[in-house]
Amino acid sequence: MGSTITTNRTAAAFKSPGGPTIWCLFEKTYEQNVHPHNPRWNCIYIGEIDGALKKIFACASNCEGGLLRDRRGQILPENYIKRWIAEMSVPVEMPDVPIKLRKEELLHATIPSRHWNDVKERLSQIDRQDIVTGVEAGQEMSVSLHKDSELVCAIYGVIAPWRAMKAMPSGWAPGKESVRDEELGYSPLTVPMRHIEVPRMRRIDADNRLVEKDGVWRNEGWAYRIVGSYVEKLWEEELRAPGSYPRLIREFRQAVMNAPVVLPGAEAVVDLRGCTQPERERSLEIAKKLGGRITATEAVIPWTEQNGDKMAYLPAATIWRVPNERVIEHSSEQEREYEEEEDESLECVLSR
């Protein structure tokens, strides 16, 4: 599967009639496995600052595993976010854009018919029954990005916002030199970062990590996905403590990558009653191959360093019994081994 290559970005903004600053985020990209490579601008978001940060952090989460890159190669999520934050500090003034709303089956329809029910629900929430009535009657409803910003944000919060940006004003385009307005910018003061507890994690093979939540250990999957999921949810913390994201991401990534190997004696417990038929068959096959204990209701499979990669294919709901190293006495040799694992550099891990 190829990556999406990002080549440029533009943050544009304007003051809505109701007061809040509305952001229009544009990104220029192309698909790595589609030739020829012709980067194109797309509007990826229309709305207020909280949603803008949510969108940026969601895109950044794809950088961790390499699904989103730039032309030079892989980008760290924190660097991708940093580029957007810098762009948003002095945004381009977003001109008004006329939008013609019509429900159609066409690929580039402003409202695709398949999404109408979702759009209709959002319009009802902001009391725009006039638009609902007109669209359902087959009319083309003319609205304005600036004057009808609440309406536009409601609609294009549930469907792709590029559909609204098909009639750009003459002479204006994302990426083109335009007037910038610092007063519209997002430049919050950096505040002291609060401590965020990192969950305990253990390694069952080179790629997969067990994560403890509420005292229960489960395999959360590949390391890069765990980091990506953390990045995606971090936008709310950035609103509370602006500027905290680089350190939080780095510390969490280090905890994931340097997670110590699970101790001998660990075992996975599969509740066969809650499995789908394919999950049950796969779990029983793994248990038999690895010398697990099978009853009518569960399969208990012992972990070893040699079988960790096979146990990664057990159902996601599988509960792991993990020995607690806090109550186990280690030899000095074991302690040195754990220290060496903790000191393993992020660069070495990422190069694998």
Q: Choose among 120, 100, 118: nearest CA to 163.
A: 100
- Same domain for 37 and 102? no
Using alpha carbons only, what angle is made at residue 337 by residues 332 and 343, rounded to the nearest 5 degrees?
A: 125
pLDDT recorded at residue 1: 65
On whether residue 31 sits in a domain, the answer given is yes
On whether residue 169 sits in a domain, the answer given is no
- Same domain for 13 and 51? yes
Write down the mean pLDDT value for the chain. Answer: 91
- Same domain for 127 and 245? no
pTM of the model: 0.88
Per-residue pLDDT tens digits for 240-250 = 999 999 999 99
- Same domain for 137 and 250? no
- Same domain for 82 and 103? no
- Same domain for 71 and 110? no
- Same domain for 84 and 124? no
**Which amino acid is it at 328?**
I
Per-residue pLDDT tens digits for 109-149 = 999 999 999 999 999 999 999 999 999 999 999 999 999 99
- Same domain for 153 and 248? no
- Range of the structural domain that residue 57 is part of: 4-93
Among 43, 66, 93, residue at a domain's last position: 93
Q: Which of 49-58, 99-108, 306-315, 331-340 has the lowest mean pLDDT?
A: 331-340
- Same domain for 278 and 329? yes
DSSP string for 66-109 = TSEEETTEE--HHHHHHHHHHHHHSPEEPPP-EEEE-EESSTT-
Among 66, 93, 120, residue at a domain's last position: 93
Residue 47, Cα to own-chain centre: how many angstroms? 18
On whether residue 184 sits in a domain, the answer given is no
Residues 260, 211: Cα–Cα separation, whole Å: 12
- Same domain for 139 and 214? no
- Same domain for 43 and 122? no
State the pLDDT confidence band at 330, using cuts at 50, 70 and 90: very low
On whether residue 264 sits in a domain, the answer given is yes
- Same domain for 121 and 25? no
Per-residue pLDDT tens digits for 10-25 = 999 999 998 899 999 9
On whether residue 267 sits in a domain, the answer given is yes
On whether residue 189 sits in a domain, the answer given is no
Helix axes 49-61, 223-233, angle to 10 degrees: 170
Number of domains in the chain: 3
On whether residue 218 sits in a domain, the answer given is yes
On whether residue 328 sits in a domain, the answer given is yes
Among 47, 66, 93, residue at a domain's last position: 93
